[in-house]
Amino acid sequence: MGLGLLPLGLALGVLITHAGLPWWCASLSTAVIYAGSFEFILVGLVLAAVPLATIALTAFLVNVRHVFYALSFPLDKVSGRPARAYSTFALNDESYALATGPQARSWSGARLLWLQVLMQAYWVGGATAGALLGSVVPDTVTGLDFALTALFTVLALDAVRERRGDLPTPLLALLSALIARLIVPGQLMLGAFALFTGALLVRHFVTRSRSSHA
Amino acid sequence: MPDTRYLLLAVAVSAAVTWALRALPFTVLAPLRASAVVRYLGARMPAGVMVILCVYCLRDLPLSRPEAVAPLAALAVTVGLHLWRRNALLSILGGTMVNVVLASTVFGH
């Protein structure tokens, strides 16, 4: 599963070299930031030489969704301060999906942690290789960034299949995303997460009051 | 090209913001984890979050232009492969390859 990060890392590395940035930017960014989609966006930002405050704000807006992950990520399984620190540092979309997925229920904290380490190794390795090979790949080769879309598609299919019989959840999410796309196109991700969380809360309280009146 | 100091600072700022967003909620939200509402959200959020991230990735799809054909075909291949084989790596590689080939040749430039 974490192997999906390898082609994605390669894509990021090639993108970084094609943008004219030094290859070590790929290794550094993937090792220190480790936030897939944001790193793709960051390439554009540094090329435009935007102020650091703009970078901080964009990082906040693109990654603020991680706030929600603390609600269900099984950090309590991981023991020891350094291990927990790394586990939160490496809490990206993919490791969240993996750790909250059906297969992860029986996993120990150590297994969870090593998977996170392995996933980041694929990411750093892929990006570094991509950046080094980037000069060999001609500029006409485009579309590698689809790896990110494919990754989320696969994760969504698995997560939805795991909740068979709960069709309203993915439908509410889809609706939230489409509404956010219409009313706050610049802040799709934040808008969609807020709408989706709100919709789930409403649904929870409606179901609860219905069952208590029954 | 941006200078090295700027690049290093850009990475440092991004890393600090990202890690804070990932780590701080655990301290702030810790008392909430036992509540029924949070457990309700926790069970349903993963599926929804991934759907939202998919839409986010496809947000700029130029639906009325021929360039949209490559990502749409790649998406169909990804979904098809995944429903068929349930192998995440195969689905991701297959879909990405279709997109790269179509976007770089037929619909390229």
Annotate B44-89 with DSSP letters as a single string.
Answer: HHHHHHHHHHHHHHTTT--TTSGGGHHHHHHHHHHHHHHHHH--HH
Same domain, B105 and B70: yes
Task: Check whether B48 has a pLDDT greater than 60.
Answer: yes
Q: Give dist(CA B91, CA B82) in Å, integer.
A: 5
B53: left (phi over 0), alpha (psi -120 to 50) or beta: alpha
- From chain A, pick out residues whose CB is under 8 angstroms from the CB of B18: 33-35, 38, 59, 63, 66
Same domain, B76 and B94: yes
Q: How many domains does the structure of chain B reveal?
A: 2
Percent of chain A having pLDDT more than 70?
Answer: 99
Give residue B42's pLDDT: 79
Q: Give dist(CA A203, CA A61) in Å, integer.
A: 26
Per DSSP, A70 falls in state T
Give residue A75's pLDDT: 92
For chain A, what is the radius of gyration of the CA atoms? 19
Give residue A2's pLDDT: 67
Mean local confidence (pLDDT), A197-207: 93
Give residue B16's pLDDT: 97
Q: Give dist(CA B26, CA A125) in Å, integer.
A: 29
Confidence of residue B47 (pLDDT cuts 50, 70, 90): confident
Give residue A147's pLDDT: 84
Mean local confidence (pLDDT), A171-200: 90
pLDDT in tens, B57-87: 898 888 888 889 999 999 999 999 999 999 8
Same domain, B48 and B6: yes
Confidence of residue B107 (pLDDT cuts 50, 70, 90): confident
Same domain, B31 and B2: yes
Full residue range of the structural domain in which residue B84 is found: 58-109
Both tokens of A198, joined, read 């709100």
Sign (positive or negative) of CA dihedral B82, B84, B87, B91? negative
Cα dist from B84 to A102, A157, A160, B98, whole Å: 19, 12, 16, 17
Give residue A158's pLDDT: 87
Give residue A208's pLDDT: 85
> Which burial class, exposed, middle or buried, applies to B20 when counting CB atoms under 10 A from its CB (0-12, 13-18, 19+)?
middle
Residue in B74, B88, B104 closest to A140 by CB: B104
Same domain, B43 and B65: no
Name the residue of chain B whose CA is nearest to A101's CA: B46
Q: Give dist(CA A137, CA A133) in Å, integer.
A: 7
Task: Check whether A1 has a pLDDT greater than 70.
Answer: no
Same domain, B7 and B35: yes
Q: Give dist(CA A192, CA A172) in Å, integer.
A: 10
Q: Give dist(CA A57, CA A187) in Å, integer.
A: 12
User: Which of the listed residues B19, B37, B52 is the one where a domain comes to its end?
Assistant: B52
Alpha carbon A213 to its chain centroid, in Å, reads: 40
Q: Which residue has the higher pLDDT, A3 or A135?
A: A135
Are B95 and A150 inside 8 Å of each other by CB? yes
A5 contacts A148 by C-beta, under 8 angstroms: no
pLDDT in tens, A110-165: 999 999 999 999 999 999 999 999 888 887 888 887 888 898 898 889 888 888 88
**From A34-48, A111-125, B92-106, the region with the lowest mean pLDDT:** A34-48
Helix count and strand count (H, E) for chain A: 11, 0
Mean local confidence (pLDDT), A5-19: 88
CA nearest to A145, candidates A41, A3, A20: A41
Window 66-95 of B: residues touching A by CB (8 A cutoff) are 70-71, 74-75, 78-79, 82-83, 88-89, 91-93, 95
Name the residue of chain B whose CA is nearest to A154's CA: B88
Residue in A47, A71, A166 closest to B41 by CB: A71
Same domain, B32 and B9: yes
Are B54 and A149 inside 8 Å of each other by CB? yes
Mean local confidence (pLDDT), A98-119: 89
Task: Check whether B35 has a pLDDT greater than 90.
Answer: no
